């Protein structure tokens, strides 16, 4: 009878120890998962703040661009030495232009 009682106590002790070890492992995994969720939430909030500040900066630059582009007129371009030219001045149909470019660049196209 005492042998059966000792055997039951021995198994009970092993079962309790294995349950305590398993519970400890699961608690550690739970804590790590909570830490992961919290850190990702904080990173997401920081990223959202950066996105908001960058989008505000883009909006400011866009409004500056629109304000400056509305001030550009042909007269203001002439002040900087820019003038309108005919497109045909830059069009050439000669076939030697491409050959001379290949000779200058050493036979390699850019």
Residue 81 falls within a domain, yes or no? no
Tokens (6 digits) for 6: 């000792």
The pLDDT tens digits for 23-52 are 999 999 999 999 999 999 999 999 999 999
Structural domains of the chain, count? 1
Tell me the C-alpha distance between 40 and 32, whole Å: 12
Q: Which residue has the tokens 């042998």?
A: 3
pLDDT at 20: 97
Range of the domain at 3: 1-70
Residue 12 falls within a domain, yes or no? yes
pLDDT at 71: 84
The pLDDT tens digits for 52-64 are 999 999 999 999 9
């Amino acid at each position: 009878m005492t042998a059966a009682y000792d055997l039951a106590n021995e198994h009970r002790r092993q079962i309790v120890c294995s349950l305590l070890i398993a519970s400890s492992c699961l608690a550690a995994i739970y804590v790590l998962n909570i830490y992961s969720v919290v850190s990702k939430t904080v990173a997401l909030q920081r990223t959202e703040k950066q996105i908001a500040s960058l989008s505000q900066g883009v909006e400011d630059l866009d409004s500056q661009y629109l304000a400056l582009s509305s001030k550009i007129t042909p007269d203001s371009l002439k002040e900087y030495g820019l003038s309108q030219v005919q497109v045909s001045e830059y069009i050439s149909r000669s076939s030697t232009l491409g050959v001379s470019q290949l000779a200058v660049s050493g036979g390699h196209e850019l």
